[in-house]
Amino acid sequence: MLSRIKEIEEEALRLPPHERAQLAEHLINSLDEEEDREIERLWLEEAERRYQEYKESKVKTRPAELVFKEARLKLE
């Protein structure tokens, strides 16, 4: 596997600078997409957990208006 990576790297280094930059951008974006999907999955799990707690009355709710008012006061 390492030799295949080395081959790809050597071939990529023979590209003109603007094409190398494009390739690097595409590779980095592909990593971001995987990370974004994982983050989205984790947030979905968290939202589902919170909703379940809400439905089971395990959490104390407060009106959003009050929460935002308190937040604004803290920021002043």
Kindly list the domain boundaries of the chain, sorted by start residue: 2-75
45-75 burial: b if 16+ Cβ within 10 Å, else e: eeeeeeeeeeeeeeeeeeeeeeeeeeeeeee
Residue 3 has pLDDT above 80, yes or no: yes
Residue type, 76: E
Given a cut of 80, whether residue 1 has pLDDT beyond it is no
Residue-level pLDDT at 22: 97
Predicted pLDDT at 31: 83
For 21-53, what is each residue's pLDDT tens digit? 999 999 988 887 878 888 999 999 999 999 999
Q: What is the pLDDT of residue 29?
A: 86
Q: How far apart are the first and last CA of the chain?
A: 57
